[in-house]
Structure 1
């Protein structure tokens, strides 16, 4: 009887293997052969799932984005306004090894998106989803009187996005100097500027 293969599970196993290889050797070291070996599959077993490394990187970006959104939903459940916004930002910030490794997946995707309109659109759609969520939290905070700054919500969101995505680059590029407490303190300092 032929073995039943869970294709979704296999894709996730390949993404996890990619993640580990990139964390250890960088994107250039993440060859299809190395990824297959890390996942415990024959090299040819990857082709039906990801014909090229480019396909794998795109899928991995979506996986990281979905993982982050799941964490956000969990940690912000029952929270509103500034408290919810803070929870959101903490799940994007690279505050632990898993989130630093997520940044190592995202950065190669960004590089590809510079010259690939489909990837650029996927990234923009994803980031617009985050912007919309943050704008919603800011509206709640203003309605509750938690924020009184005259700075527009759009400008606040743009500043936060720059902080969050920039932190991913810093953490991925210099993990030895990366201190989660500093990122957390910087977030709190920024949010403090918004309150009365």
Structure 2
């Protein structure tokens, strides 16, 4: 509830169903635990993306890929909370910032490929299109985490659909 920064290692261990001190050999600090948690949620998201896009192509594949980043359910909302905690630390920690950048570079690369397959017009700037999608899905993680009652799944999906349609159709909506 209070986030990783507000919790003690004892509280984190208890929430995970472990005795106090059980995590210490693996994660001597909350910072190390946060590193692991971010890498874990990134891997989980990538696995979901792969499964969600299997057998799909075009706009359907692009949309399915993006849905796995959006906090559309409790699991993804919890993952967004971890990501936000990690980003806060990455602002002051170059090693964390580098981990984040590597992770986002992977997503940008896949998004560029999916956009091409979905029919991004030749005149469109692929980097700008990828940036628009990344800004939308990562921004949605922040807004949904801060006000989840207002940002229902449909309220997160509608702007994504609007943006994807505009990009593929070549308009500036």
TM-score by length of 1: 0.82
Alignment of 1:1-196 (within 5 A): 24-142=1-119, 147-148=120-121, 150-196=123-169
Offset at residue 124 of structure 1 (A): 0.2
Structure with max Cα Rg: 1
After TM superposition, the runs of 4+ consecutive aligned structure 1 residues lying more than 6 A away are none
> Would the aligned equivalents of 1:149 and 1:194 in 2 still touch at CA under 8 Å?
no
Distance across 2 between alignment mates of 1:96 and 1:38:
20
Instruction: Output one character per residue of 1:16-65: Cα deviation in whole Å (capped at 9) or x when no partner.
Output: xxxxxxxx222333210101222232222211110000000110001111
Distance across 2 between alignment mates of 1:126 and 1:167:
18
Distance across 1 between alignment mates of 2:123 and 2:156:
25
Q: Answer with 56-65 or 148-157: which moved more.
A: 148-157
RMSD: 1.3
> Would the aligned equivalents of 2:118 and 2:168 in 1 still touch at CA under 8 Å?
no
Unaligned runs of 5+ in 1: 1-23
Q: Answer with 72-81 or 28-37: which moved more.
A: 28-37
Instruction: Output one character per residue of 1:59-111: Cα deviation in whole Å (capped at 9) or x when no partner.
Output: 00011111111110001001122221111111101111111111111101001
> Would the aligned equivalents of 1:72 and 1:87 in 2 still touch at CA under 8 Å?
yes
Distance across 1 between alignment mates of 2:129 and 2:138:
14
Which structure: greater helix fraction?
Answer: 1
Distance across 2 between alignment mates of 1:121 and 1:127:
10
Q: Answer with 121-130 or 169-178: which moved more.
A: 169-178
Number of equivalenced pairs: 169
> Would the aligned equivalents of 1:68 and 1:91 in 2 still touch at CA under 8 Å?
yes
> Would the aligned equivalents of 1:149 and 1:195 in 2 still touch at CA under 8 Å?
no
